[in-house]
Structure 1
Protein backbone atom coordinates (compact mmCIF):
# COMPACT_ATOMS: atom_id res chain seq x y z
CA UNK A 1 0.00 0.00 0.00
CA UNK A 2 1.51 3.31 -1.12
CA UNK A 3 0.41 6.30 0.94
CA UNK A 4 0.92 10.07 0.72
CA UNK A 5 0.29 13.01 3.02
CA UNK A 6 -0.56 16.31 1.33
CA UNK A 7 0.00 19.34 3.54
CA UNK A 8 2.49 17.32 5.56
CA UNK A 9 4.21 20.28 7.24
CA UNK A 10 1.06 21.79 8.79
CA UNK A 11 -0.38 21.11 12.24
CA UNK A 12 -2.77 18.39 11.05
CA UNK A 13 -0.27 17.03 8.51
CA UNK A 14 2.35 16.41 11.17
CA UNK A 15 -0.29 14.74 13.32
CA UNK A 16 -1.15 12.47 10.37
CA UNK A 17 2.44 11.21 10.52
CA UNK A 18 2.28 10.71 14.28
CA UNK A 19 -0.99 8.75 14.18
CA UNK A 20 0.16 6.63 11.22
CA UNK A 21 3.26 5.66 13.20
CA UNK A 22 1.31 4.90 16.36
CA UNK A 23 -1.20 2.70 14.55
CA UNK A 24 1.54 0.96 12.55
CA UNK A 25 -0.34 1.34 9.29
CA UNK A 26 1.30 -0.96 6.72
CA UNK A 27 2.94 1.25 4.10
CA UNK A 28 5.19 0.24 1.20
CA UNK A 29 6.03 3.59 -0.38
CA UNK A 30 5.48 6.85 1.50
CA UNK A 31 5.40 10.40 0.12
CA UNK A 32 5.02 13.80 1.76
CA UNK A 33 3.80 16.80 -0.23
CA UNK A 34 3.41 20.47 0.57
CA UNK A 35 3.51 23.86 -1.14
CA UNK A 36 6.61 25.30 -2.79
CA UNK A 37 7.42 27.13 0.47
CA UNK A 38 8.02 23.85 2.29
CA UNK A 39 9.37 21.77 -0.59
CA UNK A 40 12.85 20.47 0.09
CA UNK A 41 12.47 20.42 3.87
CA UNK A 42 12.83 17.14 5.76
CA UNK A 43 10.35 15.14 7.85
CA UNK A 44 10.99 12.01 9.88
CA UNK A 45 8.55 9.13 9.69
CA UNK A 46 9.04 5.59 10.99
CA UNK A 47 12.72 6.32 11.68
CA UNK A 48 13.35 7.43 8.11
CA UNK A 49 13.92 10.91 6.72
CA UNK A 50 11.72 12.05 3.85
CA UNK A 51 12.12 15.07 1.61
CA UNK A 52 8.98 17.15 1.25
CA UNK A 53 7.93 17.28 -2.41
CA UNK A 54 6.15 20.19 -4.04
CA UNK A 55 2.58 19.25 -4.94
CA UNK A 56 1.85 19.75 -8.62
CA UNK A 57 -0.43 18.39 -11.34
CA UNK A 58 1.95 15.53 -12.11
CA UNK A 59 2.45 14.33 -8.52
CA UNK A 60 -0.08 11.52 -8.83
CA UNK A 61 1.05 10.57 -12.32
CA UNK A 62 4.72 10.32 -11.43
CA UNK A 63 4.08 8.31 -8.26
CA UNK A 64 1.75 5.33 -7.81
CA UNK A 65 -0.23 6.29 -4.71
CA UNK A 66 -3.12 4.23 -3.34
CA UNK A 67 -4.31 6.52 -0.53
CA UNK A 68 -3.61 10.21 0.06
CA UNK A 69 -4.45 12.11 3.24
CA UNK A 70 -5.10 15.75 2.35
CA UNK A 71 -4.88 18.65 4.80
CA UNK A 72 -3.82 21.57 2.64
CA UNK A 73 -6.92 23.77 2.41
CA UNK A 74 -10.05 23.74 0.29
CA UNK A 75 -8.54 25.31 -2.81
CA UNK A 76 -5.77 22.73 -2.97
CA UNK A 77 -8.28 19.91 -2.46
CA UNK A 78 -10.62 21.17 -5.15
CA UNK A 79 -7.75 21.31 -7.63
CA UNK A 80 -5.72 18.21 -6.81
CA UNK A 81 -8.15 15.66 -5.30
CA UNK A 82 -9.84 14.97 -8.68
CA UNK A 83 -6.42 14.58 -10.32
CA UNK A 84 -5.41 12.08 -7.65
CA UNK A 85 -8.70 10.18 -7.98
CA UNK A 86 -8.34 10.05 -11.77
CA UNK A 87 -4.97 8.36 -11.27
CA UNK A 88 -6.36 5.59 -9.07
CA UNK A 89 -5.77 7.15 -5.66
CA UNK A 90 -8.38 7.38 -2.90
CA UNK A 91 -8.23 10.84 -1.34
CA UNK A 92 -9.28 11.36 2.28
CA UNK A 93 -9.73 15.11 2.48
CA UNK A 94 -9.72 17.15 5.68
CA UNK A 95 -10.97 20.43 4.18
CA UNK A 96 -14.59 21.51 3.80
CA UNK A 97 -14.32 21.40 -0.01
CA UNK A 98 -16.09 18.07 -0.63
CA UNK A 99 -18.12 17.49 2.53
CA UNK A 100 -21.52 18.39 1.17
CA UNK A 101 -21.00 17.00 -2.33
CA UNK A 102 -23.70 14.32 -2.71
CA UNK A 103 -21.23 12.13 -4.62
CA UNK A 104 -18.66 12.20 -1.78
CA UNK A 105 -19.06 10.13 1.41
CA UNK A 106 -18.69 12.08 4.68
CA UNK A 107 -17.38 9.55 7.17
CA UNK A 108 -16.81 8.97 10.86
CA UNK A 109 -15.71 5.31 11.09
CA UNK A 110 -17.49 4.64 14.40
CA UNK A 111 -20.74 5.90 12.87
CA UNK A 112 -21.04 5.23 9.12
CA UNK A 113 -18.09 3.15 7.85
CA UNK A 114 -20.33 1.50 5.25
CA UNK A 115 -20.42 4.83 3.37
CA UNK A 116 -16.71 4.42 2.55
CA UNK A 117 -17.62 1.83 -0.09
CA UNK A 118 -19.61 4.47 -2.01
CA UNK A 119 -16.53 6.56 -2.73
CA UNK A 120 -15.57 7.51 -6.28
CA UNK A 121 -12.02 8.40 -5.34
CA UNK A 122 -12.70 11.08 -2.72
CA UNK A 123 -13.84 10.69 0.90
CA UNK A 124 -14.47 13.74 3.09
CA UNK A 125 -13.36 14.06 6.69
CA UNK A 126 -16.03 15.99 8.64
CA UNK A 127 -15.53 19.18 10.60
CA UNK A 128 -13.73 18.63 13.93
CA UNK A 129 -16.69 19.74 16.05
CA UNK A 130 -19.08 17.52 14.09
CA UNK A 131 -16.92 14.41 14.40
CA UNK A 132 -16.90 14.31 18.19
CA UNK A 133 -20.59 15.17 18.40
CA UNK A 134 -21.80 12.36 16.14
CA UNK A 135 -19.63 9.75 17.87
CA UNK A 136 -21.73 10.43 20.97
CA UNK A 137 -25.06 10.99 19.19
CA UNK A 138 -25.10 8.11 16.71
CA UNK A 139 -25.74 5.27 19.20
CA UNK A 140 -28.52 7.32 20.83
CA UNK A 141 -30.07 8.15 17.46
CA UNK A 142 -30.08 4.47 16.57
CA UNK A 143 -31.80 3.51 19.83
CA UNK A 144 -34.20 6.39 20.48
CA UNK A 145 -34.42 8.45 17.28
CA UNK A 146 -33.27 12.05 17.57
CA UNK A 147 -35.94 14.73 17.11
CA UNK A 148 -33.86 17.88 17.68
CA UNK A 149 -30.29 18.89 18.56
CA UNK A 150 -29.01 22.14 20.09
CA UNK A 151 -25.22 22.51 19.82
CA UNK A 152 -23.14 24.97 21.81
CA UNK A 153 -19.42 24.53 21.23
CA UNK A 154 -16.35 25.80 23.07
CA UNK A 155 -13.60 25.41 20.49
CA UNK A 156 -9.86 25.58 21.07
CA UNK A 157 -7.59 27.95 19.17
CA UNK A 158 -5.71 25.05 17.55
CA UNK A 159 -8.81 24.60 15.41
CA UNK A 160 -7.75 27.81 13.67
CA UNK A 161 -4.25 26.49 12.95
CA UNK A 162 -0.95 27.94 14.04
CA UNK A 163 -2.30 31.47 13.65
CA UNK A 164 -4.94 30.82 16.29
CA UNK A 165 -2.42 29.17 18.60
CA UNK A 166 -0.04 32.14 18.23
CA UNK A 167 -2.83 34.66 18.90
CA UNK A 168 -3.48 33.03 22.27
CA UNK A 169 0.21 32.70 23.13
CA UNK A 170 0.93 36.30 22.21
CA UNK A 171 -2.34 37.55 23.66
CA UNK A 172 -1.37 36.19 27.06
CA UNK A 173 1.69 38.46 26.79
CA UNK A 174 -0.52 41.46 26.03
CA UNK A 175 -0.01 41.57 22.24
CA UNK A 176 -2.73 42.30 19.69
CA UNK A 177 -4.29 39.44 17.66
CA UNK A 178 -3.38 38.74 14.05
CA UNK A 179 -5.65 35.77 13.29
CA UNK A 180 -8.84 36.60 15.20
CA UNK A 181 -10.88 39.85 14.96
CA UNK A 182 -10.62 40.36 18.73
CA UNK A 183 -8.31 39.28 21.54
CA UNK A 184 -8.80 35.63 22.44
CA UNK A 185 -6.78 35.68 25.68
CA UNK A 186 -9.27 36.06 28.54
CA UNK A 187 -12.11 36.19 26.04
CA UNK A 188 -14.71 34.13 24.17
CA UNK A 189 -15.55 34.84 20.54
CA UNK A 190 -18.98 33.69 19.26
CA UNK A 191 -17.54 33.84 15.76
CA UNK A 192 -15.92 30.89 13.94
CA UNK A 193 -15.54 31.23 10.16
CA UNK A 194 -17.52 33.88 8.26
CA UNK A 195 -21.01 35.18 9.01
CA UNK A 196 -23.76 34.22 6.55
CA UNK A 197 -26.87 36.14 5.50
CA UNK A 198 -29.03 34.32 8.06
CA UNK A 199 -26.82 35.45 10.97
CA UNK A 200 -25.25 32.05 11.52
CA UNK A 201 -21.55 31.47 10.97
CA UNK A 202 -20.31 29.03 8.36
CA UNK A 203 -19.02 26.80 11.18
CA UNK A 204 -22.50 26.58 12.68
CA UNK A 205 -24.08 25.64 9.36
CA UNK A 206 -21.33 23.06 8.80
CA UNK A 207 -22.35 21.32 12.03
CA UNK A 208 -26.02 21.33 11.05
CA UNK A 209 -25.54 20.03 7.51
CA UNK A 210 -22.78 17.54 8.28
CA UNK A 211 -24.68 15.97 11.17
CA UNK A 212 -27.68 15.42 8.91
CA UNK A 213 -25.52 13.85 6.20
CA UNK A 214 -23.59 11.53 8.52
CA UNK A 215 -26.73 10.37 10.35
CA UNK A 216 -28.60 9.98 7.02
CA UNK A 217 -31.46 12.27 8.08
CA UNK A 218 -31.83 15.40 5.97
CA UNK A 219 -34.85 16.57 8.00
CA UNK A 220 -33.19 16.47 11.41
CA UNK A 221 -33.90 19.68 13.36
CA UNK A 222 -30.59 21.19 14.50
CA UNK A 223 -29.34 24.58 15.64
CA UNK A 224 -25.83 25.58 16.68
CA UNK A 225 -23.77 28.31 18.30
CA UNK A 226 -20.01 27.86 17.93
CA UNK A 227 -17.61 29.76 20.18
CA UNK A 228 -13.82 30.15 20.13
CA UNK A 229 -12.42 30.01 23.66
CA UNK A 230 -8.95 30.66 25.17
CA UNK A 231 -7.97 26.99 25.28
CA UNK A 232 -4.98 25.77 23.28
CA UNK A 233 -6.26 22.33 22.34
CA UNK A 234 -9.42 20.24 22.78
CA UNK A 235 -12.97 21.15 21.79
CA UNK A 236 -15.79 20.98 24.34
CA UNK A 237 -19.48 20.86 23.46
CA UNK A 238 -22.75 21.21 25.32
CA UNK A 239 -25.29 19.13 23.40
CA UNK A 240 -29.00 19.22 24.13
CA UNK A 241 -31.01 16.45 22.49
CA UNK A 242 -34.71 15.64 22.21
CA UNK A 243 -35.66 12.07 21.30
CA UNK A 244 -38.72 10.65 19.59
CA UNK A 245 -38.93 7.87 22.18
CA UNK A 246 -38.97 7.72 25.96
CA UNK A 247 -35.75 6.56 27.57
CA UNK A 248 -34.47 5.16 30.83
CA UNK A 249 -31.47 7.19 31.98
CA UNK A 250 -29.47 4.16 33.15
CA UNK A 251 -30.17 2.35 29.88
CA UNK A 252 -29.08 5.44 27.93
CA UNK A 253 -25.87 5.59 29.94
CA UNK A 254 -25.22 1.92 29.16
CA UNK A 255 -25.76 2.68 25.47
CA UNK A 256 -23.03 5.34 25.60
CA UNK A 257 -20.66 3.14 27.61
CA UNK A 258 -20.89 0.40 24.98
CA UNK A 259 -20.49 2.70 21.97
CA UNK A 260 -17.28 2.46 19.91
CA UNK A 261 -14.73 5.25 20.37
CA UNK A 262 -16.58 6.75 23.32
CA UNK A 263 -15.54 6.94 26.98
CA UNK A 264 -18.06 7.94 29.66
CA UNK A 265 -16.62 10.15 32.43
CA UNK A 266 -19.56 11.01 34.62
CA UNK A 267 -19.03 10.84 38.39
CA UNK A 268 -20.10 14.27 39.60
CA UNK A 269 -19.74 13.21 43.24
CA UNK A 270 -16.00 13.10 42.65
CA UNK A 271 -15.89 15.99 40.15
CA UNK A 272 -15.27 13.61 37.25
CA UNK A 273 -16.38 14.89 33.84
CA UNK A 274 -14.64 15.35 30.47
CA UNK A 275 -11.94 18.02 30.32
CA UNK A 276 -10.06 19.38 27.32
CA UNK A 277 -6.74 19.02 29.13
CA UNK A 278 -7.34 15.32 29.71
CA UNK A 279 -8.51 14.69 26.14
CA UNK A 280 -5.32 16.05 24.60
CA UNK A 281 -3.33 13.42 22.66
CA UNK A 282 -6.22 10.94 22.97
CA UNK A 283 -8.14 9.42 20.07
CA UNK A 284 -11.37 8.77 21.96
CA UNK A 285 -14.36 11.04 22.47
CA UNK A 286 -15.33 11.68 26.09
CA UNK A 287 -18.88 12.24 27.34
CA UNK A 288 -20.23 13.24 30.75
CA UNK A 289 -22.71 15.50 32.63
CA UNK A 290 -25.37 13.09 31.35
CA UNK A 291 -28.70 14.32 32.69
CA UNK A 292 -32.31 14.76 31.72
CA UNK A 293 -33.50 18.02 30.26
CA UNK A 294 -36.50 18.48 32.51
CA UNK A 295 -37.89 21.34 30.42
CA UNK A 296 -38.99 19.04 27.57
CA UNK A 297 -40.26 15.53 27.02
CA UNK A 298 -37.55 12.97 26.24
CA UNK A 299 -34.69 15.45 26.51
CA UNK A 300 -31.07 14.92 27.53
CA UNK A 301 -28.00 17.10 28.11
CA UNK A 302 -24.47 15.90 27.30
CA UNK A 303 -20.99 17.37 27.67
CA UNK A 304 -18.71 16.05 24.90
CA UNK A 305 -14.94 16.63 24.65
CA UNK A 306 -12.22 15.49 22.23
CA UNK A 307 -8.80 16.41 20.89
CA UNK A 308 -9.74 18.39 17.79
CA UNK A 309 -6.44 17.84 15.99
CA UNK A 310 -6.43 14.08 16.59
CA UNK A 311 -9.95 12.65 16.57
CA UNK A 312 -11.30 15.86 15.10
CA UNK A 313 -8.99 15.66 12.10
CA UNK A 314 -5.91 13.42 11.76
CA UNK A 315 -7.04 10.32 13.62
CA UNK A 316 -10.43 10.19 11.92
CA UNK A 317 -8.75 10.35 8.49
CA UNK A 318 -6.23 7.65 9.43
CA UNK A 319 -9.07 5.46 10.72
CA UNK A 320 -10.76 5.79 7.33
CA UNK A 321 -7.51 4.77 5.61
CA UNK A 322 -7.16 1.84 8.00
CA UNK A 323 -10.71 0.69 7.21
CA UNK A 324 -9.96 0.86 3.47
CA UNK A 325 -6.79 -1.21 3.90
CA UNK A 326 -8.58 -3.85 5.99
CA UNK A 327 -11.87 -4.04 4.08
CA UNK A 328 -11.40 -3.05 0.43
Structure 2
Protein backbone atom coordinates (compact mmCIF):
# COMPACT_ATOMS: atom_id res chain seq x y z
CA UNK A 1 0.00 0.00 0.00
CA UNK A 2 1.26 3.50 -0.85
CA UNK A 3 2.39 5.22 2.38
CA UNK A 4 0.82 8.36 3.79
CA UNK A 5 3.62 10.85 4.51
CA UNK A 6 3.99 13.81 6.85
CA UNK A 7 6.87 16.27 6.31
CA UNK A 8 8.05 18.42 9.22
CA UNK A 9 10.11 21.49 8.30
CA UNK A 10 8.84 21.39 4.73
CA UNK A 11 9.60 25.04 3.92
CA UNK A 12 13.07 25.19 5.48
CA UNK A 13 16.48 25.30 3.79
CA UNK A 14 16.65 21.58 3.02
CA UNK A 15 12.99 20.81 3.69
CA UNK A 16 11.81 22.68 0.62
CA UNK A 17 14.02 20.54 -1.62
CA UNK A 18 12.81 17.34 0.02
CA UNK A 19 9.18 18.45 -0.24
CA UNK A 20 9.55 19.43 -3.90
CA UNK A 21 10.90 16.00 -4.83
CA UNK A 22 8.28 14.12 -2.81
CA UNK A 23 5.54 16.18 -4.46
CA UNK A 24 7.07 15.47 -7.88
CA UNK A 25 6.82 11.73 -7.10
CA UNK A 26 3.41 11.93 -5.40
CA UNK A 27 1.93 9.22 -7.63
CA UNK A 28 4.09 6.74 -5.68
CA UNK A 29 2.56 7.76 -2.36
CA UNK A 30 -0.76 8.06 -0.60
CA UNK A 31 -1.80 11.15 1.32
CA UNK A 32 0.86 13.85 1.63
CA UNK A 33 0.82 16.38 4.46
CA UNK A 34 3.12 18.91 6.06
CA UNK A 35 3.23 20.40 9.54
CA UNK A 36 4.05 24.09 9.70
CA UNK A 37 4.16 26.65 12.49
CA UNK A 38 1.71 29.51 12.85
CA UNK A 39 4.56 31.93 12.08
CA UNK A 40 5.38 30.16 8.83
CA UNK A 41 1.69 29.99 7.93
CA UNK A 42 1.59 33.79 8.17
CA UNK A 43 4.91 34.54 6.44
CA UNK A 44 5.00 31.94 3.66
CA UNK A 45 1.37 32.05 2.55
CA UNK A 46 2.04 31.80 -1.19
CA UNK A 47 4.40 28.86 -0.72
CA UNK A 48 1.83 26.98 1.36
CA UNK A 49 -0.99 27.82 -1.05
CA UNK A 50 1.06 26.35 -3.87
CA UNK A 51 1.46 23.12 -1.89
CA UNK A 52 -2.26 23.03 -1.19
CA UNK A 53 -2.81 23.40 -4.92
CA UNK A 54 -0.75 20.24 -5.38
CA UNK A 55 -3.14 18.42 -3.06
CA UNK A 56 -0.89 18.60 0.00
CA UNK A 57 -2.64 18.81 3.36
CA UNK A 58 -1.25 21.57 5.59
CA UNK A 59 -1.42 21.27 9.39
CA UNK A 60 -0.67 24.38 11.41
CA UNK A 61 0.67 23.48 14.82
CA UNK A 62 3.53 23.45 17.30
CA UNK A 63 5.94 20.54 16.97
CA UNK A 64 6.66 20.74 20.71
CA UNK A 65 2.99 20.21 21.64
CA UNK A 66 1.91 16.58 21.93
CA UNK A 67 -1.72 17.27 21.09
CA UNK A 68 -0.77 19.05 17.85
CA UNK A 69 1.56 16.25 16.81
CA UNK A 70 -0.82 13.43 17.63
CA UNK A 71 -3.43 15.16 15.47
CA UNK A 72 -0.97 15.55 12.59
CA UNK A 73 0.15 11.92 12.95
CA UNK A 74 -3.35 10.49 12.51
CA UNK A 75 -3.35 8.12 9.55
CA UNK A 76 0.33 8.81 8.79
CA UNK A 77 2.68 5.93 7.99
CA UNK A 78 5.96 7.81 7.43
CA UNK A 79 7.32 11.00 8.98
CA UNK A 80 10.11 12.87 7.18
CA UNK A 81 11.75 15.41 9.46
CA UNK A 82 13.75 18.31 8.02
CA UNK A 83 13.99 20.45 11.16
CA UNK A 84 16.95 22.79 11.46
CA UNK A 85 20.05 22.32 13.58
CA UNK A 86 18.69 24.63 16.28
CA UNK A 87 15.74 22.36 17.07
CA UNK A 88 17.27 18.93 16.41
CA UNK A 89 16.58 17.78 19.98
CA UNK A 90 12.82 18.30 19.52
CA UNK A 91 12.90 15.11 17.47
CA UNK A 92 13.16 13.04 20.65
CA UNK A 93 9.52 13.66 21.67
CA UNK A 94 8.54 13.61 17.98
CA UNK A 95 9.83 10.05 17.67
CA UNK A 96 8.23 9.08 20.99
CA UNK A 97 4.82 10.41 19.93
CA UNK A 98 5.22 8.75 16.54
CA UNK A 99 5.72 5.41 18.29
CA UNK A 100 2.43 5.95 20.14
CA UNK A 101 0.55 6.74 16.93
CA UNK A 102 0.17 4.94 13.60
CA UNK A 103 3.62 5.93 12.33
CA UNK A 104 5.78 2.99 11.30
CA UNK A 105 8.78 4.85 9.89
CA UNK A 106 10.67 8.03 10.76
CA UNK A 107 13.40 9.94 8.90
CA UNK A 108 15.26 12.10 11.45
CA UNK A 109 16.90 15.27 10.17
CA UNK A 110 20.35 13.71 9.67
CA UNK A 111 21.19 15.11 6.23
CA UNK A 112 24.79 16.30 6.41
CA UNK A 113 27.96 15.20 8.18
CA UNK A 114 28.23 11.62 9.46
CA UNK A 115 28.01 11.80 13.26
CA UNK A 116 29.34 8.24 13.59
CA UNK A 117 32.06 8.37 10.94
CA UNK A 118 34.98 7.44 13.21
CA UNK A 119 36.14 7.31 16.84
CA UNK A 120 36.45 11.12 17.00
CA UNK A 121 32.90 11.77 15.82
CA UNK A 122 31.17 11.41 19.24
CA UNK A 123 33.35 14.24 20.60
CA UNK A 124 32.59 16.79 17.89
CA UNK A 125 30.52 19.68 19.28
CA UNK A 126 28.09 20.02 16.31
CA UNK A 127 27.19 16.31 16.61
CA UNK A 128 25.95 16.22 20.17
CA UNK A 129 22.21 16.80 19.64
CA UNK A 130 22.00 14.39 16.70
CA UNK A 131 23.77 11.79 18.82
CA UNK A 132 21.16 12.29 21.55
CA UNK A 133 18.39 11.72 19.00
CA UNK A 134 20.00 8.52 17.73
CA UNK A 135 20.53 7.25 21.28
CA UNK A 136 16.86 7.79 22.12
CA UNK A 137 15.69 6.26 18.84
CA UNK A 138 17.48 3.03 19.76
CA UNK A 139 15.03 2.64 22.65
CA UNK A 140 12.04 2.64 20.27
CA UNK A 141 11.18 -0.76 18.81
CA UNK A 142 8.01 -0.19 16.79
CA UNK A 143 9.21 2.60 14.47
CA UNK A 144 11.81 1.96 11.77
CA UNK A 145 14.43 4.70 11.42
CA UNK A 146 16.19 5.86 8.26
CA UNK A 147 19.23 8.09 8.70
CA UNK A 148 20.22 9.63 5.37
CA UNK A 149 23.84 10.84 5.59
CA UNK A 150 24.64 13.08 2.64
CA UNK A 151 27.84 14.88 3.56
CA UNK A 152 28.03 18.66 2.96
CA UNK A 153 25.62 20.39 0.60
CA UNK A 154 27.62 21.44 -2.45
CA UNK A 155 25.29 24.45 -2.99
CA UNK A 156 26.32 25.90 0.37
CA UNK A 157 29.98 24.84 0.21
CA UNK A 158 30.70 26.47 -3.16
CA UNK A 159 29.58 29.91 -2.03
CA UNK A 160 30.94 33.09 -0.41
CA UNK A 161 31.73 32.51 3.25
CA UNK A 162 33.86 33.27 6.28
CA UNK A 163 35.46 29.81 6.49
CA UNK A 164 36.37 28.90 2.94
CA UNK A 165 34.83 30.95 0.14
CA UNK A 166 33.93 30.92 -3.55
CA UNK A 167 32.90 34.35 -4.85
CA UNK A 168 31.94 34.35 -8.54
CA UNK A 169 31.44 38.12 -8.84
CA UNK A 170 35.00 38.98 -7.78
CA UNK A 171 36.59 35.72 -9.01
CA UNK A 172 38.19 34.95 -5.65
CA UNK A 173 38.39 31.68 -3.71
CA UNK A 174 39.73 30.65 -0.31
CA UNK A 175 40.40 26.92 -0.20
CA UNK A 176 40.78 24.78 2.90
CA UNK A 177 43.67 22.36 3.32
CA UNK A 178 46.14 21.88 0.47
CA UNK A 179 43.32 21.72 -2.07
CA UNK A 180 43.85 18.03 -2.82
CA UNK A 181 41.63 16.65 -0.05
CA UNK A 182 38.64 14.73 -1.47
CA UNK A 183 35.16 15.64 -0.17
CA UNK A 184 31.89 13.83 -0.92
CA UNK A 185 29.12 16.35 -1.66
CA UNK A 186 25.37 16.19 -2.17
CA UNK A 187 23.45 18.88 -4.03
CA UNK A 188 20.44 20.08 -2.05
CA UNK A 189 17.96 19.08 -4.76
CA UNK A 190 19.55 15.63 -4.77
CA UNK A 191 18.85 15.23 -1.05
CA UNK A 192 15.17 15.29 -2.00
CA UNK A 193 15.72 12.71 -4.75
CA UNK A 194 17.54 10.45 -2.30
CA UNK A 195 14.73 10.71 0.26
CA UNK A 196 12.26 9.73 -2.47
CA UNK A 197 14.52 6.80 -3.37
CA UNK A 198 14.38 5.63 0.25
CA UNK A 199 10.60 6.00 0.36
CA UNK A 200 10.30 3.93 -2.82
CA UNK A 201 12.69 1.24 -1.52
CA UNK A 202 11.67 0.86 2.15
CA UNK A 203 13.13 -2.61 2.71
CA UNK A 204 16.56 -1.54 1.42
CA UNK A 205 16.79 1.76 3.28
CA UNK A 206 16.34 1.00 6.96
CA UNK A 207 19.12 2.25 9.22
CA UNK A 208 22.04 4.46 8.15
CA UNK A 209 22.54 5.13 4.43
CA UNK A 210 25.67 6.86 3.15
CA UNK A 211 24.87 8.69 -0.09
CA UNK A 212 26.16 11.57 -2.20
CA UNK A 213 26.05 13.33 -5.58
CA UNK A 214 29.74 13.58 -6.45
CA UNK A 215 33.21 13.62 -4.88
CA UNK A 216 35.75 16.33 -5.68
CA UNK A 217 38.76 18.17 -4.27
CA UNK A 218 38.81 21.95 -3.79
CA UNK A 219 41.38 22.14 -6.59
CA UNK A 220 39.06 20.24 -8.92
CA UNK A 221 36.22 22.61 -8.00
CA UNK A 222 38.54 25.55 -8.72
CA UNK A 223 39.55 24.14 -12.10
CA UNK A 224 35.91 23.62 -13.10
CA UNK A 225 34.78 27.04 -11.92
CA UNK A 226 37.71 28.75 -13.69
CA UNK A 227 36.82 26.86 -16.86
CA UNK A 228 33.16 27.85 -16.73
CA UNK A 229 33.91 31.49 -15.91
CA UNK A 230 36.73 31.57 -18.48
CA UNK A 231 38.99 33.36 -16.02
CA UNK A 232 41.87 32.78 -13.64
CA UNK A 233 40.75 33.23 -10.04
CA UNK A 234 42.68 34.85 -7.20
CA UNK A 235 43.22 31.94 -4.85
CA UNK A 236 44.42 31.62 -1.26
CA UNK A 237 44.69 28.56 0.98
CA UNK A 238 44.02 28.03 4.68
CA UNK A 239 46.06 25.05 5.88
CA UNK A 240 44.49 22.41 8.09
CA UNK A 241 46.59 23.63 11.05
CA UNK A 242 45.42 27.20 10.46
CA UNK A 243 41.83 26.01 10.20
CA UNK A 244 42.11 24.16 13.52
CA UNK A 245 43.49 27.30 15.18
CA UNK A 246 40.68 29.41 13.72
CA UNK A 247 38.09 26.86 14.83
CA UNK A 248 39.45 26.85 18.40
CA UNK A 249 39.39 30.67 18.57
CA UNK A 250 35.81 30.79 17.29
CA UNK A 251 34.53 28.39 19.94
CA UNK A 252 36.43 30.22 22.71
CA UNK A 253 35.00 33.60 21.69
CA UNK A 254 31.45 32.37 21.07
CA UNK A 255 31.61 33.09 17.35
CA UNK A 256 28.39 31.79 15.70
CA UNK A 257 30.46 30.55 12.76
CA UNK A 258 32.30 28.05 14.99
CA UNK A 259 30.00 25.19 13.97
CA UNK A 260 30.78 25.87 10.30
CA UNK A 261 34.51 25.88 11.06
CA UNK A 262 34.28 22.52 12.83
CA UNK A 263 32.26 20.90 10.06
CA UNK A 264 34.62 22.18 7.37
CA UNK A 265 37.61 20.94 9.35
CA UNK A 266 35.95 17.50 9.55
CA UNK A 267 35.38 17.46 5.79
CA UNK A 268 38.96 18.63 5.12
CA UNK A 269 40.29 15.82 7.33
CA UNK A 270 38.44 13.20 5.26
CA UNK A 271 35.27 12.87 7.34
CA UNK A 272 33.11 12.26 4.27
CA UNK A 273 35.18 9.40 2.82
CA UNK A 274 34.59 5.65 3.18
CA UNK A 275 36.23 2.40 2.14
CA UNK A 276 32.92 0.97 0.95
CA UNK A 277 30.62 1.91 -1.95
CA UNK A 278 27.87 4.49 -1.44
CA UNK A 279 24.32 3.32 -0.83
CA UNK A 280 22.78 5.17 -3.80
CA UNK A 281 22.42 1.86 -5.60
CA UNK A 282 20.27 0.39 -2.83
CA UNK A 283 17.57 2.96 -3.53
CA UNK A 284 17.43 2.84 -7.30
CA UNK A 285 20.51 4.93 -8.14
CA UNK A 286 18.69 8.29 -8.40
CA UNK A 287 20.05 10.67 -11.04
CA UNK A 288 22.51 12.99 -9.27
CA UNK A 289 24.08 16.32 -10.21
CA UNK A 290 27.64 16.29 -11.50
CA UNK A 291 30.33 18.73 -10.40
CA UNK A 292 29.98 20.59 -13.70
CA UNK A 293 26.20 20.90 -13.31
CA UNK A 294 26.55 22.15 -9.73
CA UNK A 295 29.14 24.76 -10.74
CA UNK A 296 26.87 26.01 -13.53
CA UNK A 297 24.03 26.43 -11.01
CA UNK A 298 26.31 28.17 -8.49
CA UNK A 299 27.51 30.67 -11.10
CA UNK A 300 23.97 31.47 -12.24
CA UNK A 301 22.75 31.94 -8.66
CA UNK A 302 25.61 34.19 -7.57
CA UNK A 303 25.43 36.35 -10.68
CA UNK A 304 21.71 36.94 -10.10
CA UNK A 305 22.18 37.86 -6.43
Give TM class, smaller chain: 0.3 to 0.5
Instruction: Give TM-score, length-normalised by structure 1.
Output: 0.39
Instruction: Give TM-score, length-normalised by structure 2.
Output: 0.41
Q: 1 or 2, which has the higher strand percentage?
A: 1
